[in-house]
Amino acid sequence: MADFLINTVGLPEWLAWTTTAVVAAVLILNVIAGGALVFIWAERKIAARIQDRLGPTRTGGRFGWLQSLADGIKLLAKEDLMPEGADGMLFRLAPYISFCASFCAFIALPFAFDFVGQRLNVGVFFVVAVLGLEVFGVILAGYASASKWSLFGAMREAAQVVSYEVPLGMCVVVPVMLAGSMDLVTIAEKQAGWVSSWYLFHDPFTFVIFWVYVTCAVASVNRAPFDLAEAESELVAGFHTEYSGLRWSFFFMAEYGSMFLVSALAALLFLGGWNGPIPVAHLLGLSDGTGDTAGYFVRLLGCGNLIVKASLGVLIMMWIRWSLPRLRIDQVMATCLKYCTPIAAAMFAGAMFWQLALPGGLVRGLSRPAGEVREGWLEGPGGLSVRPTKAVSTPAVPVALVDDPRSQTEAKSIVQVSP
């Protein structure tokens, strides 16, 4: 976008970059905030229907569309309380830390081929790392509230989130291994084609890993059945007991933002990202490269695809929440250490051997040659305006067999492009 502003509109360079950054930040903020509004309404409706009642039906018409807005106005108008023994600075800062961690992870999340805040080479790693920082807001909130319910809830939640990062990391490594890159754009690009080229259907081990990922992701964002940190029946309200009004709503925007983030990550890693089940754009002969308006609309379609998949993930999380009973803390820890981690490790080993033996997956994509991808980091320093297509029929990261001619060619090509 900065190139467009510099070349077509003729803005000075510093203004173009600043505008691009501001637009990206505003768009991401809207995704989180608007998404939170929609998801809060959806949660109340889904919860109601599962519990055989109707949910909001009065604010804004028959379906209660404006219920979230009413909730927001109520929260804004509430009195801003702080408990007497609370640590003032930490109490005030804690919700913003949670929200910032959730917001920062969206920087590296691509919504379509060129719709990414900052295309990082270590995108997946960055997203998972920043997700783990959200727990700081929780710990500080629990500590600074000077209430034992808050502290208990915060410690439990911190233990849970930190423990589940281990199997989450292992689950995330499997698509990285299949794609050969940690770049989220590359991982999604490699799943282009029909639905059979999604990594979910790549091999049975990845299929199981996806379900382990779902479990770990739900535990990571502290949603039921893993939500005893905010369990109303046990800890009043856990770490956010003493928070009211706008500060509480920041915690909840952070939670819904994280839910959307892990769902979008699942969509990118396993469900094909912005590629739909049927490659409509490719069949019509359009491509989503930069530089033409048709490509822009194709990318917009892809962005819509990703948002639909991520929203489906969030709705499924809500469905799970209102269907399953809550786990105790020792059951949560047992699930992590006794089930998720060994299964993830075994499936990772299985996927690794499958990739060595049958590197194409079960069914190759029919619309493009297998694995044709715009390998971003091979492009020139102009950014994404150059589009070499590199047909890769082998795993992009070769196993380190130094005398294997395949790996040597790969290694040579890497050496050639680095100045």
Partner 1 sequence: MMPATLSLALPLALPLALLMTLPLAAINWHTLLFLLFAVVACACAVAVVLADNVVRMAFYLVLSLGATAGLFFLAGAEFLGAMQLMIYVGGTLVLLVFGVMLTAQSPFVAIKTSTGDRVLAGMVGAALLAVLLQSAFRVEAWQLPAVGAVTAPTATPLGMALLGVRVDAPAAGAPETAVRSGYLLPFEIVSVHLLVVLVGAAYLARAKRRRTPRAIDVAASSSSPPSSSSSGGVAATAREASSSSALVPGGRR
**Contacts to partner 1 by CB under 8 A:** 12-15, 17, 83-87, 89-90, 93, 120-122, 125-126, 128-130, 132-133, 135-136, 139-140, 143-144, 146-148, 151-152, 155-156, 158-159, 162, 165, 181-182, 328-330, 333, 377, 381, 397, 400, 402, 407, 411, 414-415, 417-419
Closer of 163 and 311 to partner 1 (Cβ): 163
Closest approach, Cβ 307 to partner 1, in A, equals 25
What is the 8-class DSSP label of residue 110?
B
Closer of 13 and 232 to partner 1 (Cβ): 13
R_g of the chain computed on alpha carbons: 23
Closer of 291 and 383 to partner 1 (Cβ): 383
Residue type, 316: I
Closer of 162 and 280 to partner 1 (Cβ): 162
- CA distances (Å), origin 413, targets 41, 201, 206, 406: 52, 30, 29, 11
Within the chain, what is the greatest distance between any pair of CA atoms? 71
What is the 8-class DSSP label of residue 264?
H
Query: CB within 8 A of 11, min separation 6: which ones?
Result: 5, 19
Angle of CA points 252, 306, 96, to nearest 5°: 25
For the chain, how many residues are written?
Answer: 419
Measured on CA atoms in the order 239, 228, 108, 287, is the torsion positive or negative? negative
| Residue where the block lists tokens 């320093």 | 381
Residue whose C-alpha is closest to residue 166's, from 348, 312, 315: 348
CB 298 within 8 A of CB 111: no
Backbone phi, psi, residue 114, to 5°: -110, 5
Closer of 20 and 287 to partner 1 (Cβ): 20
Closest approach, Cβ 415 to partner 1, in A, equals 6
Closest approach, Cβ 207 to partner 1, in A, equals 26
Closest approach, Cβ 342 to partner 1, in A, equals 16
CB 250 within 8 A of CB 95: yes
Helix residue ranges, H only, 106-132: 123-131
Closer of 126 and 270 to partner 1 (Cβ): 126
Backbone phi, psi, residue 390, to 5°: -115, 115
Closest approach, Cβ 129 to partner 1, in A, equals 3
Closest approach, Cβ 65 to partner 1, in A, equals 36
Angle of CA points 352, 357, 178, to nearest 5°: 40
Tokens encoding 76: 């804004």
Closest approach, Cβ 282 to partner 1, in A, equals 28
Closest approach, Cβ 125 to partner 1, in A, equals 4
Closest approach, Cβ 176 to partner 1, in A, equals 10
Helix residue ranges, H only, 190-340: 204-220, 245-269, 280-283, 293-321, 329-334
Closer of 235 and 259 to partner 1 (Cβ): 235
Closest approach, Cβ 323 to partner 1, in A, equals 26
Dihedral Cα 26, 252, 109, 295, nearest 10 deg: -50
Closer of 122 and 303 to partner 1 (Cβ): 122
Closer of 301 and 337 to partner 1 (Cβ): 337
Closest approach, Cβ 339 to partner 1, in A, equals 18
Closer of 14 and 52 to partner 1 (Cβ): 14
Closer of 317 and 329 to partner 1 (Cβ): 329
CB 223 within 8 A of CB 320: yes
